[in-house]
């Protein structure tokens, strides 16, 4: 099964029409966030310009400006001629010192506020997913949880952690919640590399994710929401702890 067939609702949210305000910036952010989160695979070919513009609800001129900006950011490459098109270029995760410098830009209060917002999103998504989801809708979540359990490098772990929460929102059948999660992961995703370096914590997170999936599958909406919120709050607390050491 191809990746674009596996991702389901999360990918649909990536290519949903963008807001009419500042459309070039909106397209750049939407596609850029999806690339950095790993929802779009390294080397994957994007839809043709006319098709992609139609899916996003923008003109081809707007799309071309956005693709140019993405190329300048190193997130997209363009090939000409037969077999050409626009292709995803997965960025390298910043070195630890750059991540720490980025984390210094957040105060502990700001991190806690971010954690509150994240927990609210994930908790709501888990509760709605437990009420609405069909058994097959949980397949992307299960795959992501198992990939995280086997992931070796911190970059992959952080992408899978974030992807799980995006797919949880997709399982809730809420395009708005899904887009909110994608945007939030662009803020916090890479920073999770600073707390996911431990194999022990990686295994703990994978087990937490399995517990959320189990509660969603059982239709236990309150339990699913509580577990998702705890998972996020724990990750946020670890980020705050790292921030206090800097």
- Say how many domains are in the chain: 2
pLDDT at 6: 46
53 with 122, same domain? no
Kindly state the average pLDDT of the residues 109-123.
96
- Taking 60 as the threshold, does the pLDDT of residue 114 lie above it? yes
pLDDT category at 190 given cuts 50, 70, 90 is confident
What is the span of the domain harbouring residue 75? 3-88
Regarding whether 236 and 129 lie in a shared domain, the answer is yes
Q: Rg (Cα) of the chain, in Å, rounded?
A: 18
Q: Do residues 71 and 159 both lie within one domain?
A: no
Do 130 and 225 lie in a common domain? yes
Whether residue 203 is predicted with pLDDT greater than 80 in this model: the reply is yes
Mean pLDDT computed over every residue of the chain:
88
Assess whether 198 and 114 both reside in one domain: yes
106 and 227 inside one domain? yes
Mean pLDDT of 152-166: 91
When comparing pLDDT for 33 and 168, which is higher?
Answer: 168
pLDDT in tens, 51-85: 999 999 999 999 999 999 999 888 899 888 777 88
Give the residue from 88, 104, 129 where a domain finishes.
88
Residue 1, pLDDT above cutoff 50? no
Work out the pLDDT band at 18, boundaries 50, 70, 90: confident
In the listed set 58, 88, 118, which residue is the last one of a domain according to the structure?
88
Residue 57 sits in a domain of what CATH number? 1.10.10.10
Looking at the fold, whether 100 and 131 belong to one and the same domain comes out as yes
Q: Counting beta carbons within 10 angstroms of the beta carbon of residue 34, is it exposed (0 to 12), middle (13 to 18) or buried (19 or more)?
A: buried
What CATH number is associated with residue 184?
1.20.120.530
* Confidence (pLDDT) at 81: 77
pLDDT of amino acid 94: 63
Residues 104 and 194 in one domain: yes
Q: Are residues 59 and 114 in the same domain?
A: no
Residues 163, 207, single domain; the answer is: yes
Task: Specify the pLDDT at position 93.
Answer: 62
The mean-pLDDT minimum among 33-42, 119-128, 168-177 falls in: 33-42
Q: Which of 44, 69, 88 is the last residue of a domain?
A: 88
Q: Could you tell me if 128 and 60 lie in one domain?
A: no
């Amino acid at each position: 099964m191809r990746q674009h067939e596996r991702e389901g609702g999360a990918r649909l949210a990536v290519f949903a029409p963008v807001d009419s305000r500042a459309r070039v910036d909106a397209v750049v952010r939407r596609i850029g966030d999806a690339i950095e989160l790993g929802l779009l695979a390294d080397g994957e070919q994007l839809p043709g310009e006319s098709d992609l513009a139609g899916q996003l609800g923008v003109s081809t001129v707007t799309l071309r400006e956005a693709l140019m900006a993405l190329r300048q950011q190193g997130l997209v490459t363009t090939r000409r001629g037969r077999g050409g098109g626009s292709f995803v270029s997965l960025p390298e995760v910043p070195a630890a010192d750059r991540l720490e410098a980025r984390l210094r830009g957040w105060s502990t209060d700001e991190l806690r506020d971010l954690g509150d917002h994240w927990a609210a999103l994930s908790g709501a998504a888990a509760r709605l997913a437990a009420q609405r989801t069909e058994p097959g809708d949980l397949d992307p979540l299960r795959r992501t949880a198992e990939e995280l359990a086997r992931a070796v490098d911190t970059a992959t772990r952080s992408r899978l952690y974030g992807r799980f929460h995006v797919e949880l929102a997709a399982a809730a059948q809420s395009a708005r919640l899904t887009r909110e999660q994608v945007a939030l992961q662009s803020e916090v995703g890479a920073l999770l590399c600073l707390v996911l370096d431990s194999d022990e914590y990686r295994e703990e997170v994978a087990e937490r994710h399995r517990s959320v999936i189990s509660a969603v599958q059982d239709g236990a909406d309150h339990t699913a929401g509580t577990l998702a919120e705890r998972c996020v709050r724990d990750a946020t607390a670890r980020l705050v702890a790292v921030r206090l050491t800097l």
